[in-house]
Amino acid sequence: MRLVGERHGERLRVEKGLRAEVAQWRSAAGLVALAVPTTYMNDSGLAVVALARRFGIAAVGGLVVVHDELDLPAGRVKLKVGGGTAGHNGLRSVHAHLHEVGYARVRIGIGKPPGRQSGADFVLRRPGAAERALLDVAVEQAADAVECIVAEGIDAAMTRFNAAG
């Protein structure tokens, strides 16, 4: 979600001890911290818990996690609060380290793997040109969704973004 930082004139920078690249700025809602873990995806919960501590986020309601989603068609963006991991190892790590699941999620659909291809192989492959174009638009929409969550709250953002498409 580097795009969100760029929109606010901020660049992500590695912050010691946080296991993430971080950008921060002030909005009308207060301090906003954007982070991209530098850990392996399966260990992203280590970065999330360190960031929550560093920025004094006591309740998971103050967190937004953006992630890929096999259960959504490629290019579809949907928001939700809480829920299971659906086999997503990054979410599994976040759940294990936070011990709570009530954080907001911006889910970017990547679709299901074709045939018998494993989910792991599917998410690690490089998308083709047509799929890349869909994902580029979805990343823009996901950035819009994150900004909407910050400005208007998760309920307003879910109403706006979950109604589309």
Bridge-partner residues for 80, per DSSP? 105
Identify any residues that bridge with 65 across adjacent strands, giving them in sequence order.
Answer: 105
Share of the chain above pLDDT 90, in %: 76
Over residues 94-131, the pLDDT tens digits come to: 999 999 999 999 999 999 888 888 888 888 889 989 99
Using CA atoms, how far apart are residues 117 and 7, in angstroms rounded to an integer?
37
DSSP 8-state code for residue 142: H
pLDDT-based confidence at residue 39 (cuts at 50, 70, 90):
very high
State the pLDDT at residue 124: 85
- pLDDT for residue 48: 96
Q: What is the structure's pLDDT at 165? A: 58
Contact 83/105 with Cβ under 8 angstroms? yes
Q: pLDDT grade, residue 58 (50/70/90)? A: confident
Indicate if the pLDDT at residue 70 is higher than 80: yes
Question: 2-163 in CATH: which number?
Answer: 3.40.50.1470
Q: What is the mean pLDDT of the chain?
A: 93
DSSP secondary-structure letter at 10? -
Q: Which residue has the higher pLDDT, 1 or 123?
A: 123
Cβ neighbour number for residue 156 with a 10 Å cutoff: 12
CB 77 within 8 A of CB 1: no
Residues recorded for the chain: 165
d(CA 42, CA 7): 28
**pLDDT score for 164:** 64
Residue environment code for 30-52, b if the CB has 16+ CB neighbours within 10 A, otherwise e = eebbbbbbbbeeebbbbbbbbbb
Task: Report the candidate in 146, 157, 150 with the shortest Cα–Cα distance to residue 66.
Answer: 146
| Per-residue model confidence (pLDDT) at position 34 | 95
Q: What is the pTM of this model?
A: 0.92
Residue 87 has pLDDT above 80, yes or no: yes
Smallest Cα–Cα separation from 64: which of 50, 82, 88, 77?
Answer: 82
